[in-house]
A and B are shown apart, each in its own frame.
Chain A
Amino acid sequence: MDDELQAKIKTLNELIWEGRLPWTDVGRWLSQYAPSPDNGYSEQLHALFLLSQFSFFNATLMRTLLRALFRDFVQHPIIVRLRKRRHHTLDWNILEPHYTRALNRIRFIGVGNPSESGTHLLYYFRQENRLSTNLFVHPHELFQGSAAAPRLLGGIRQLVFLDDFCGSGTQAIRYSKRLLMRIREISDATRLSYYPLFATTSGLDRVRSRTLFTDVQALCELDESFRAIDASSRYFRNIPPSINQEFAAEMCHRYGSLIEPRAPLGFGKCQLLLGFSHNIPNNTLPIFWSTGTTDHPWNPIFPRYTKGAGW
Chain B
Amino acid sequence: MADLKNPFDLVKATDLSDGQIAEYFVDFPGGASLIDRIKPTSPMPMFIFGGKGSGKTHLMRYLSYPLQLRRQAEPSAPIAIANQGYLGIYFRCGGLNAQRFFGKGQPQEVWEDIFAYYMELWFGQLVLSTIIDLCQNSPTVQSVRLISDVNRLLDVLPPQVPATLQEFADHLEFLQREADVAINNCALTGRLDVQIKVTRGRLVFGLPKTLVGHLTEIRSILFLYLVDEFENLTEIQQKYINTLVRERQDPCSFKVGVRLYGLRTKQTVNAGEENREDSEYEALRLDAELRERPDAAQFNFARDLVHRRLLQAGYITKSAAEEFDVSRWFDLGESSSVNVDSTLPHDRYRDGEAPYIANLRRKLEQGVKTGSAPGLKTTSDIQQVIAAIRLPGQLLVERTSTFLLYRAWARGKNLLPAAEAISDSAKNYISGSKETPHGEVLRYFRADIVAQLLRETKQKQRYLGFGTFVKMSAGLPRGLLTVLKHIFMWSLFYGEQPFQQDRISVRAQMDGVAQAAEWFFTEARAPGPIGALVRDAMTRLGQLLREVRFSDKPSECSLSSFSANLTTASQKAIEVLKEAENWSMLIRIAGGQHDRNEGRVDEKYQVHPMLAPRWDLPIARRGALALSGEEVTAIFAPLEMAEFEATLRRRVSAMTAPYFGQSPSANTLLLPGLANG
Does a CB–CB distance below 8 Å link A and B in the complex?
yes
Interface residues of A (CB under 8 A from B): 3, 6-7, 10, 13-14, 18-20, 22-24
Q: List 15 A-B contacts (CB under 8 A).
A: A3-B514, A7-B515, A10-B489, A10-B490, A10-B493, A14-B489, A18-B2, A19-B1, A19-B2, A19-B492, A20-B2, A22-B492, A22-B495, A23-B494, A24-B494
What's the dominant secondary structure at chain B's contact region? helix
Distance in angstroms from A9 CB to nearest chain B CB is 8
Distance in angstroms from B516 CB to nearest chain A CB is 13
In angstroms, Cα B515 to Cα A116, docked, is 43
User: Could you say which residues of chain B place their CB within 8 Å of the CB of A13?
Assistant: 493
Distance in angstroms from B616 CB to nearest chain A CB is 14
Residues of B484-526 contacting chain A, CB below 8 A = 489-490, 492-495, 511, 514-515
A22 pairs with B515, CB closer than 8 A: no
Q: Taking CB as reference atom, which chain B residue is nearest A22?
A: B495
Residues of B511-547 contacting chain A, CB below 8 A = 511, 514-515
Q: A10-B490, A13-B493, A14-B489 are in contact. List 20 more A-B contacts (CB 8 A).
A: A3-B511, A3-B514, A6-B511, A7-B515, A10-B489, A10-B493, A18-B2, A19-B1, A19-B2, A19-B492, A20-B2, A22-B1, A22-B492, A22-B494, A22-B495, A23-B493, A23-B494, A23-B495, A24-B494, A24-B495
Distance in angstroms from B156 CB to nearest chain A CB is 43
Q: Taking CB as reference atom, which chain B residue is nearest A25?
A: B495
User: Could you say which residues of chain A place their CB within 8 Å of the CB of B514?
Assistant: 3
User: Could you say which residues of chain A place their CB within 8 Å of the CB of B489?
Assistant: 10, 14
In angstroms, Cα B494 to Cα A13, docked, is 12
Distance in angstroms from B501 CB to nearest chain A CB is 15
Q: Taking CB as reference atom, which chain B residue is nearest A19?
A: B2
Q: Taking CB as reference atom, which chain B residue is nearest A6?
A: B511
Distance in angstroms from B499 CB to nearest chain A CB is 17
In angstroms, Cα B2 to Cα A23, docked, is 13
In angstroms, Cα B489 to Cα A14, docked, is 9
In angstroms, Cα B1 to Cα A18, docked, is 10
User: Could you say which residues of chain B place their CB within 8 Å of the CB of A7?
Assistant: 511, 515
Distance in angstroms from B397 CB to nearest chain A CB is 29
User: Could you say which residues of chain B place their CB within 8 Å of the CB of A23?
Assistant: 493-495
In angstroms, Cα B2 to Cα A20, docked, is 7
Q: Taking CB as reference atom, which chain A residue is nearest B510?
A: A3
Residues of B457-506 contacting chain A, CB below 8 A = 489-490, 492-495
Q: Taking CB as reference atom, which chain A residue is nearest B508?
A: A23
User: Could you say which residues of chain A place their CB within 8 Å of the CB of B2?
Assistant: 18-20
User: Could you say which residues of chain A place their CB within 8 Å of the CB of B492?
Assistant: 19, 22
In angstroms, Cα B495 to Cα A7, docked, is 15
How many pairs of residues, A versus B, come closer than 8 Å at their CB atoms?
Answer: 25
**3 shortest interchain CB distances as A-B pairs:** A19-B2, A24-B495, A22-B495
Q: Taking CB as reference atom, which chain A residue is nearest B507?
A: A23
Distance in angstroms from B628 CB to nearest chain A CB is 37
Distance in angstroms from B131 CB to nearest chain A CB is 46
Distance in angstroms from B495 CB to nearest chain A CB is 4
Distance in angstroms from A62 CB to nearest chain B CB is 19
In angstroms, Cα B6 to Cα A19, docked, is 13
In angstroms, Cα B493 to Cα A13, docked, is 8
User: Could you say which residues of chain A place their CB within 8 Å of the CB of B1?
Assistant: 19, 22
User: Could you say which residues of chain B place their CB within 8 Å of the CB of A18?
Assistant: 2
Interface centre among B493, B511, B514 (most CB of A within 10 A): B493
Distance in angstroms from A201 CB to nearest chain B CB is 36
Distance in angstroms from A11 CB to nearest chain B CB is 10
User: Could you say which residues of chain A place their CB within 8 Å of the CB of B515?
Assistant: 7
In angstroms, Cα B515 to Cα A6, docked, is 12
In angstroms, Cα B2 to Cα A24, docked, is 14
Distance in angstroms from A10 CB to nearest chain B CB is 5
User: Could you say which residues of chain A place their CB within 8 Å of the CB of B511?
Assistant: 3, 6-7
In angstroms, Cα B489 to Cα A113, docked, is 42
User: Could you say which residues of chain B place their CB within 8 Å of the CB of A10?
Assistant: 489-490, 493
In angstroms, Cα B495 to Cα A20, docked, is 11
Q: Taking CB as reference atom, which chain B residue is nearest A24?
A: B495
Q: Taking CB as reference atom, which chain A residue is nearest B515?
A: A7
Distance in angstroms from B509 CB to nearest chain A CB is 14
User: Could you say which residues of chain A place their CB within 8 Å of the CB of B493?
Assistant: 10, 13, 22-23
Distance in angstroms from B418 CB to nearest chain A CB is 36
User: Could you say which residues of chain B place their CB within 8 Å of the CB of A20?
Assistant: 2
User: Could you say which residues of chain B place their CB within 8 Å of the CB of A14?
Assistant: 489
Interface centre among A13, A14, A20, A23 (most CB of B within 10 A): A23
User: Could you say which residues of chain B place their CB within 8 Å of the CB of A6?
Assistant: 511
In angstroms, Cα B489 to Cα A19, docked, is 11
Distance in angstroms from A51 CB to nearest chain B CB is 14
Q: Taking CB as reference atom, which chain B residue is nearest A13?
A: B493
In angstroms, Cα B493 to Cα A20, docked, is 10
User: Could you say which residues of chain B place their CB within 8 Å of the CB of A22?
Assistant: 1, 492-495
User: Could you say which residues of chain A place their CB within 8 Å of the CB of B490?
Assistant: 10
Distance in angstroms from B520 CB to nearest chain A CB is 16
In angstroms, Cα B515 to Cα A18, docked, is 21
User: Could you say which residues of chain B place their CB within 8 Å of the CB of A24?
Assistant: 494-495
In angstroms, Cα B490 to Cα A24, docked, is 12
Q: Taking CB as reference atom, which chain B residue is nearest A14?
A: B489
In angstroms, Cα B490 to Cα A14, docked, is 11
User: Could you say which residues of chain A place their CB within 8 Å of the CB of B494?
Assistant: 22-24
Residues of B1-43 contacting chain A, CB below 8 A = 1-2
In angstroms, Cα B3 to Cα A18, docked, is 10
In angstroms, Cα B492 to Cα A22, docked, is 7
Q: Taking CB as reference atom, which chain A residue is nearest B2?
A: A19
Distance in angstroms from B459 CB to nearest chain A CB is 13
In angstroms, Cα B510 to Cα A6, docked, is 13
In angstroms, Cα B1 to Cα A20, docked, is 8
Distance in angstroms from B350 CB to nearest chain A CB is 12
In angstroms, Cα B268 to Cα A158, docked, is 75
Distance in angstroms from B5 CB to nearest chain A CB is 12
In angstroms, Cα B59 to Cα A28, docked, is 47
Distance in angstroms from B143 CB to nearest chain A CB is 53
In angstroms, Cα B489 to Cα A23, docked, is 12
In angstroms, Cα B599 to Cα A49, docked, is 58
In angstroms, Cα B490 to Cα A20, docked, is 14
Q: Taking CB as reference atom, which chain A residue is nearest B460?
A: A3
In angstroms, Cα B492 to Cα A10, docked, is 10
In angstroms, Cα B490 to Cα A22, docked, is 9
In angstroms, Cα B496 to Cα A24, docked, is 10
User: Could you say which residues of chain A place their CB within 8 Å of the CB of B495?
Assistant: 22-24
Q: Taking CB as reference atom, which chain B residue is nearest A26?
A: B493
In angstroms, Cα B1 to Cα A13, docked, is 11
User: Could you say which residues of chain B place their CB within 8 Å of the CB of A3?
Assistant: 511, 514
In angstroms, Cα B492 to Cα A7, docked, is 13
In angstroms, Cα B528 to Cα A129, docked, is 46
Distance in angstroms from B496 CB to nearest chain A CB is 9
Q: Taking CB as reference atom, which chain B residue is nearest A10?
A: B493
In angstroms, Cα B514 to Cα A6, docked, is 13
In angstroms, Cα B493 to Cα A173, docked, is 43
Q: Taking CB as reference atom, which chain A residue is nearest B492?
A: A22
In angstroms, Cα B515 to Cα A14, docked, is 15
Distance in angstroms from A187 CB to nearest chain B CB is 51
In angstroms, Cα B426 to Cα A126, docked, is 79
In angstroms, Cα B211 to Cα A219, docked, is 64
In angstroms, Cα B494 to Cα A91, docked, is 56
Q: Taking CB as reference atom, which chain B residue is nearest A20?
A: B2
In angstroms, Cα B490 to Cα A18, docked, is 15
In angstroms, Cα B485 to Cα A14, docked, is 14
Distance in angstroms from A50 CB to nearest chain B CB is 19
Distance in angstroms from A46 CB to nearest chain B CB is 21
In angstroms, Cα B494 to Cα A6, docked, is 11
In angstroms, Cα B2 to Cα A18, docked, is 7
